[in-house]
Copies of this chain bind each other. A is one copy, B any other.
Amino acid sequence: MRTIVSLDIGGTQLRAAVYKQDQREPIAQKKIKTRAGEPDTIGRLFQLIEDVLPPDGKVDAIGASCPGPVDPHTGIIMFTPNIKEWRDFPFTAKLMKHFGVPTYVDNDANLAGLAEWKFGAGRGHHHVLYLTVSTGVGGGVIINDRLLQGSHGLAAELGHTTVQVDGPLCGCGQRGHLESFSSGTGIERFVADQLTAGRVSVLHPEKKNSAHDISEAAKQGDELSIEAYQIAGKYLGIGVANFLHVFDPSIVIFGGGVSQSGPLLFDSFETSLKEHVIHPRYLEGLVIARAELGDNSGLLGARALAELKLDL
């Protein structure tokens, strides 16, 4: 029976779990703090893995989920938040050398999509569009039951698609990306700009208002805050219409904190999606769902990646 070690490399926590084939729950798991800026993260990660290994030490593969750009073909982590010494870091090579088993890595959004397809809201679907809407907007796409990775492993950067040339500045330095409108950061920027321009609101112009603060104000009826989420939802509908035309999935799954805003975001999203789809057939049978796996999407996605690769 196959044994997989699964890793979730986060900016605040490093998590490891061991899964046996056909068992949903891990047989062992442990987490430690990432400790931003401290040296030898890889040594601490090796120790973390050793702490969860089964008594016989037998493992078939290691899978890992990591934020930031990763090349899944070479196993190189280009960079990842809070672990400064990992720049163009040969991650899988290090693990394969130390543990002697095949090791696979991909970015967290891709693997959250893969996890939802295999274990979560997307079970049974062959064409899945997963979107995480939080600080940024990220994507994970399953086509014909396979993860979309691309030739350099950089596919599915869905937040970084232009929907309005010369639109607002995006975190990546470009303008008018879906992320610049529909992410938490985009919502915060819109509110800050409007407050600076003198717009009346219960929010204070000199405070840094978070997307969560803004959603709380919206629930109290603050018009500016309501409008900020409506705009985010409108552009999210435009972006998802684009992705329906591009991928024609049978399910769209939303993860990430901002996607938990309910009707505040999704009423205008749904109106906009219907308006911008070029043919009603794209919507026939289309499921719009919330992610089911929460904090475990990284571990389960890394597990699914390792299992898929072993099956190829």
Tell whether A245 pairs with B279 under 8 Å between CB atoms, given A148-B143, A165-B238, A284-B152.
Answer: no
Q: For residue A286, which residue of chain B has the nearest CB?
A: B151
The interface size of chain A toward B, counting residues with CB under 8 Å, comes to 45
Q: How far is A128 from B155 in the complex, measured between Cα atoms in Å?
A: 13
Segment at the interface with B among A55-63, A189-197, A246-254? A246-254
| Docked CA distance A146–B148 (Å) | 11
CB pair A245 B161 closer than 8 Å: yes
Please tell me if the beta carbons of B162 and A279 are within 8 angstroms of each other in the complex. Answer: no
Using an 8 Å CB-CB cutoff, how does the interface string of A157-181 with B read, 1 for contact, 0 for none?
A: 1101111110000001110000000
Within 8 A of B (CB), among A280-295: 281-282, 284-285
Q: How far is the CB of A26 from chain B (nearest CB, A)?
A: 30
A246-B146 in contact given A151-B126, A238-B165, A278-B174 (Cβ < 8 Å): no
What 1/0 flags go to A30-72 for Cβ under 8 Å of B?
0000000000000000000000000000000000000001000
Tell me, in angstroms, the Cα distance from A155 to B126 when the chains sit together: 13
A69 touches B174 (CB 8 A): no
Q: List chain B residues, Cβ under 8 A from A241.
A: 162
Minimum CB–CB distance for A75 against chain B, Å: 15
Contact A249:B281 (CB < 8 A) given known A162-B241, A238-B162 = no
Tell me, yes or no, whether A221 is within 8 Å of chain B by CB: no
**Does A217 reach chain B (CB closer than 8 Å)?**
no
| Bound CA span A148–B245, Å | 11
Please determine whether B150 and A247 come into contact, CB atoms closer than 8 angstroms: yes
> What's the least CB distance linking A107 to chain B, in Å?
12
- Say whether A209 faces chain B, with CB atoms less than 8 Å apart: no
Q: Does A15 contact B (CB under 8 A)?
A: no
A 242-262 to B, binary, CB cutoff 8 A, 1 in contact else 0: 100111111000000000000
A281 touches which of B152, B156, B238, B284 (Cβ 8 Å): B152
Cα distance A163–B238 in the bound complex, in angstroms: 10
Q: Give every chain B residue within 8 A of A278 (Cβ-Cβ).
A: 157, 160, 172-174
Closest beta carbon of chain B to A159's beta carbon, Å: 9
A144 at the interface (CB under 8 A from B): yes
> Does the CB pair A161–B127 fall under 8 Å?
no
User: Does B245 contact A276, Cβ atoms closer than 8 Å?
Assistant: no
A95 close to B (CB within 8 Å):
no
Residues in B with CB closer than 8 Å to A69 are 279, 281
Asked if A203 is an interface residue, CB under 8 A from chain B, the answer is: no
With A146-B144, A151-B127 as contacts: A161 and B242 at CB distance below 8 Å = yes
Q: Sort A-B residue pairs by CB-CB distance and give the 8 closest, nearest first.
A: A150-B248, A151-B250, A155-B248, A157-B245, A161-B242, A127-B151, A154-B248, A172-B278
